[in-house]
A = this chain, B = another copy of it.
Amino acid sequence: MPSEFQLIQQFFQREQAEQPAEGVLLGIGDDCAILQIPAGKQLAVSVDTLVADVHFPADADPELIAERALRTNLSDLAAMGADPLWFTLALTLPEANEDWLRSFSRGLFTCAREFGIALVGGDTTFGPLSITIQVMGATQSQQTLRRDGANVGDFVLVTNFVGDGAAALAAIQNTHTFADEHAEYLQQRFYRPTPRLYESGLIRDIASSALDISDGLVADLQHICDASDLGAVIDVESLPLSPAVQSLNNNSQSYQWALSGGDDYELCFTASPEKMADIAMLIAQGKLHATVIGEMIPGHKVICEYKGESFALDTTGYQHFSS
């Protein structure tokens, strides 16, 4: 192994040593990490890869790349109702650039501290820039937010705003122009999306199903439909849009972004009519920022309606968000 890569590993190891974490019996530096799951809990595991120039510009600020990589992975724990515990990092780098690594690890550990998750292992290899993070969390069976628990008549909700992910990419790629304040907001939403762990903790005893919006609202809600063997209807006018997206003054574009954009990392969840009062109270108390956008119905597909008429989507996938 090249000595420069040993330096990299020691760098991550040193950073990690400063943050001894719960349940870590043995951290970085052996063949495996040895971890103790909290008593009575199950392990929730998710893995995601971010590839340069596919998921982020290769020349982006390494601190922001790290934040985005960890935050989007944490979003999967939130979507499952799990509490963050540990993560591993597989980092593939074209060169051992010390400045890049210092910045990357600063972003990584800042974010890890913010959300209470500890780096417990990793691998550093030569190759085209990409980052694979596996997050591990703790969950309890009765609180697990699965995709297959929705029922006919359940309300469909989303947290905060949808469409920001696609708008952010349009801003970064200069296909749309935003006022400075909105461009800055969207930049933050792209690189530093907030994993909705707090919201997940509020709803995990109440919601009947949940996931996070990464592929696009319609495509993701379709996953709930598939898993629950149901259809869903979305009232397009009810979609919560951020001031940045609203500033475009182009409802048609805004709705497309909100419905098929992706990269929002908001929660989409369902709640039974009986439980909806609890959700509504959390919203009314200002604890939960969420909006009812539709309903689960018999069938197999997600239907979008605008003023009672069918609303046509350009696409239902992530890959066309900037078209």
A42-B25, A120-B45 are contacts. A32–B82 as well, Cβ < 8 Å? yes
A31-B76, A32-B77, A211-B31 are contacts. A126–B90 as well, Cβ < 8 Å? no
Complex alpha-carbon distance, A215 and B82, angstroms: 36
A45-56 near B? 1/0 per residue, CB < 8 Å: 111111110110
A32-B44, A33-B46, A34-B44 are contacts. A127–B51 as well, Cβ < 8 Å? yes
A72-101 near B? 1/0 per residue, CB < 8 Å: 000011011010001011101000000000
Complex alpha-carbon distance, A79 and B34, angstroms: 12
A130-B130, A134-B88 are contacts. A44–B33 as well, Cβ < 8 Å? yes
A-B contact pairs, 21 of them (CB 8 A): A1-B319, A2-B317, A30-B146, A31-B147, A32-B44, A32-B45, A32-B79, A32-B80, A32-B139, A33-B45, A34-B141, A45-B86, A47-B132, A48-B90, A49-B123, A49-B127, A51-B92, A54-B126, A127-B128, A128-B130, A134-B134
From A45, A82, A123, A215, residue with most partner B Cβ within 10 Å:
A45
CB-based nearest B residue for A44: B32
Complex alpha-carbon distance, A151 and B126, angstroms: 35
CB-based nearest B residue for A79: B31
B139 touches A34 (CB 8 A): yes
Closest Cβ of chain B to A60, distance in Å, is 16
A1-B317, A48-B90, A88-B47 are contacts. A30–B147 as well, Cβ < 8 Å? yes
Complex alpha-carbon distance, A122 and B45, angstroms: 10
Does A154 sit at the interface, judged by CB under 8 A? no
Interface size class of A (residues with CB under 8 A): 35 or more
Closest Cβ of chain B to A211, distance in Å, is 5
Does A43 sit at the interface, judged by CB under 8 A? yes
Closest Cβ of chain B to A131, distance in Å, is 10
- CB neighbours of A165 from chain B (8 A): none
From A1, A36, A48, residue with most partner B Cβ within 10 Å:
A1
Does A175 sit at the interface, judged by CB under 8 A? no
Closest Cβ of chain B to A229, distance in Å, is 14
Complex alpha-carbon distance, A37 and B145, angstroms: 19
Does A249 sit at the interface, judged by CB under 8 A? no
Does A256 sit at the interface, judged by CB under 8 A? no
